[in-house]
Structure 1
Amino acid sequence: MNQKEKEAYIIKQYQEDEQVMVRIFIQWCHEHNLDPERVYHEAYPAQAPNSLLKKLSEDGESFGMTIDSGTLIHVLQVFGNDELAYVVSEYAKK
């Protein structure tokens, strides 16, 4: 595998992992009767709507399991979404 192939592989893996993170977030929001796009906007009010979040929300695919708030917060932090993790933690306290 040459350098270009390695880079493409790494990018592809990151994008797949990012999709899993977004799906976990969507699942958690649905379990708590929250609109994922509204919660995301609370965390990042200056950003444009997240196209991946919108696409996956419309997709409606579910994991078929309950997502623990602590697990979601950890996953969000791994991806550097600290602001979103904070907003989720505030909702989890309610």
Structure 2
Amino acid sequence: MNAKEMEQQMIQSYQQDENMMILVFAQWCVNHKLDPEQLYQRAYPQQTANHALQQAVELTVPADEAGEIPDDTLLGVLSLFGNEDLAYVVTEEIQKRPPAKK
């Protein structure tokens, strides 16, 4: 494998990982009855529609069919990809929830 092929493979791998992060975010939103596109717009008001997010929303399943996505997992994945503004908006939504019953 030459350097150009290796570079292309690394870019493709990053893009796949990024798409998985977007899907995790979108499914977390669905699981918590939140609109992923609205949250994204709050975090990045200067951006137009995000095609990758729109595709991810199409791949989500109803909350009762999805596995749980812990808040910490989502926040960690967002941070890993440098989506600090989106992590902030997600944290705001987490803080709006009523305290869990013990």
Give the TM-score taking structure 1 as reference length: 0.93
Q: SS at 1:75's partner residue?
A: helix
* Deviation sequence 1:13-58 (CA, Å, 0-9, x none): 0011011101100110001100100000000001111110011212
Aligned length: 94
Per mean C-alpha deviation after superposition, the further-off stretch among 21-30 and 59-68 is 59-68
Q: Cα RMSD (Å) of the superposition? A: 1.5
Question: Please, which of 51, 72, 78 is the counterpart of residue 70 of structure 1?
Answer: 72
8 Å contact kept, 2:27–2:60: no
CA separation of 1:22/1:51 partners in 2, compared to 1, >3 Å: closer, same or farther? same
The yes-or-no answer on 1:59 pairing with 2:59 is yes
Match of 2:38 in 1: 38
**Structure 1: tracts of 5 or more residues without a match:** none
8 Å contact kept, 2:30–2:60: no
**Structure 2: tracts of 5 or more residues without a match:** 97-102
Percentage identity across aligned positions?
A: 46
Match of 1:81 in 2: 83
CA separation of 1:64/1:31 partners in 2, compared to 1, >3 Å: closer, same or farther? closer
The letter of the residue matching 1:50 is N
Q: SS at 2:49's partner residue?
A: coil
Give the TM-score taking structure 2 as reference length: 0.86
In terms of Rg, which structure is larger? 2
The letter of the residue matching 1:38 is Q
